[in-house]
Structure 1
């Protein structure tokens, strides 16, 4: 793990930290590769139940791709964000719940990286934006397609077409983020959400996340008629047995994630 990406696990929560504050935590090819390896580790480790993505420095969560270095060949090997965004490579969906703790600028690919999370906690100084048109740049930009799905239609199009930034307070009112807190309380708020998540069965959460996202790919009728493999597998897990035992014995369940 390089100094540009910090990783630690405590109480079933993995904290993944972008550490390039001088570059506004923009994502270089090297950082992309590190992120991909980190998502592999998180998904493969049954003792990691939740991931929190955050960044060092008050000024920016992530300003998108770092276009100052690397080659076009480098950029083509992996989707931005270690695969999470699907920009420039195959889309990767993290199995575990992902919380994004966003402060300052979340621009372009950085905005999209935040939208890849399942829960977004924003500092009151956060600003979300799609600056491409102001720079005269446009391409197969996945962030537009996510924005139009996660924000009201006219709000998203206004962001796309003007390049203006959305402040945290407006992002909260539009349902883009789950909570807005002072910057000094951002990490505490993210960990509070992580604690809420680790109180539930991790396998049930993973099965639910898979089903919800898979179901969104088709009509409601198809979603209702589909059987989801992680849900089927969960029926035979230790966690489902523990949930039943805890209910019968009127005690808090002790999940193992197995």
Structure 2
């Protein structure tokens, strides 16, 4: 894996870790490339069923894009977050569930990267912010579009217009995160979420994520009338037959992801 990212697997769970703590885990072009490689491996490896995104160091999850070295203008930057955010280039869709473990500063592009996750666990020292207007820098507005969809309207607008931050307790109250834990319990809690997801049928989980997110912005009647290829493909999978057999035999299912 390229510089600035740690990638490892634990059973069916992949762990992706931002590893530039001295730079507040800000994302440079090499990290973007490494993240792209990570998401690609997760998408294409059938033995990976869920991913956990975390960061090294207690001070910051991610302080956004690293612009100190001119990375924004060197012509090498792909979409921020290895394509996951869709800011600055083509969006990469992660088909497997993603759990984010967030501590310290999650600001700018770091906040946006966290919002790309399906589940967010926050340490009690986490702070979320959109600093663009406060520092007078407005580029692509991906973070604003995500915030207005994931937070109550007036809370999101306050963050966008003032550049102020919200803490972990506020984020939980507004429904942005799934839970707040002491920093020492952050990774353990995120992995617990991943294990719970991995205990379900992986193909059913992926089909459900695809169906929900692909029609999230559409009217209900359109979503109900849509045929979803992953759901239809699941009907003839080994896991569907295993699930039915396990239910009938009153035993735990042994999923294969196939």
The equivalent residue for 1:120 is 120
Distance across 2 between alignment mates of 1:54 and 1:245: 37
Distance across 1 between alignment mates of 2:217 and 2:91: 14
Distance across 2 between alignment mates of 1:8 and 1:30: 18
The equivalent residue for 2:160 is 160
The equivalent residue for 2:200 is 200
Using structure 1 for the length normalisation, give the TM-score. 0.98
Query: Root-mean-square deviation (CA), in Å?
Result: 0.8
- Shift of the alpha carbon at 1:68? 1.6
Alignment of 1:109-258 (within 5 A): 109-258=109-258
The equivalent residue for 1:73 is 75
Q: List runs of 5+ in structure 1 lacking aligned partners.
A: none
Distance across 2 between alignment mates of 1:205 and 1:15: 18
Larger displacement relative to structure 2 (213-222 or 114-123):
213-222
Cα displacement string for residues 66-88 of structure 1 (whole angstroms, at most 9, x for unaligned residues): 1122334112xx21000010100
The equivalent residue for 1:19 is 19
Distance across 1 between alignment mates of 2:140 and 2:41: 29
- Shift of the alpha carbon at 1:3? 4.7
SS in 2 for 1:14: strand
Alignment of 1:74-93 (within 5 A): 74-75=76-77, 78-93=78-93
The equivalent residue for 1:33 is 33
Larger displacement relative to structure 2 (65-74 or 245-254):
65-74
1:4 partnered with 2:4: yes
SS in 1 for 2:101: strand
- Shift of the alpha carbon at 1:165? 0.5
- Shift of the alpha carbon at 1:246? 0.1
Distance across 1 between alignment mates of 2:138 and 2:38: 29
- Shift of the alpha carbon at 1:2? 3.2
Distance across 2 between alignment mates of 1:2 and 1:155: 37
Distance across 2 between alignment mates of 1:151 and 1:14: 28
Distance across 2 between alignment mates of 1:115 and 1:229: 26
Q: Is residue 3–residue 30 contact of structure 2 (8 Å, CA) maintained in 1?
A: no
Distance across 1 between alignment mates of 2:11 and 2:90: 31
Q: Is residue 3–residue 31 contact of structure 2 (8 Å, CA) maintained in 1?
A: no
Alignment size in residue pairs: 256
Using structure 2 for the length normalisation, give the TM-score. 0.98
The equivalent residue for 1:100 is 100
SS in 2 for 1:138: coil
Distance across 2 between alignment mates of 1:159 and 1:185: 28
- Shift of the alpha carbon at 1:150? 0.2
Runs of 4+ residues deviating >2 angstroms? 69-72
